[in-house]
Structure formats: structure tokens, C-alpha cells
Amino acid sequence: MAELEAAIERLERAVARLEAAHGVDGRSGEVDYLRLREIAARVDQALARIGRILGEGG
């Protein structure tokens, strides 16, 4: 269960980075869609992994 808690914490940090980004690159003022898509994909993967772990335990 500690591994699941650690995964959830990492997921929460990734979501916080997404929220903090506001979709704008501070240097150029442009939207960094590629970086936001990368973070979103990692969040999706983390959610899928958590779902698999929970499915194995239930």
C-alpha cells in the first residue's frame, strides 16, 4: 500500500504542475502544448496504473 500512496503523491504533484503552468511558458509567453500534453499523458498513465493496482487488490 505504501507504493500506491507514493504513486498518488507523484500524481498529485504532476497535477499541481499542470495547474501552475496555466499553459504559458514564462520565458516567451507562449503556450507550451507539447509539455502540457506530456504531463497529461503521464497523469493518465499514473491513473491507469493505480486502477490496475486497485483492481488486483479487490
CA-closest candidate to residue 18, choices 45, 39, 44: 39
| The overall pTM is greater than 0.75 | no
Biggest CA–CA distance in the chain, Å, is 48
Give the residue extent of every domain in the chain.
Answer: 2-57
Q: Residue type for 46, please?
A: A
Sign of CA dihedral 45, 47, 20, 32: positive
- How does pLDDT run across 5-50, given as a tens digit for each residue? 887 888 888 778 777 776 555 566 666 788 778 878 888 888 888 8
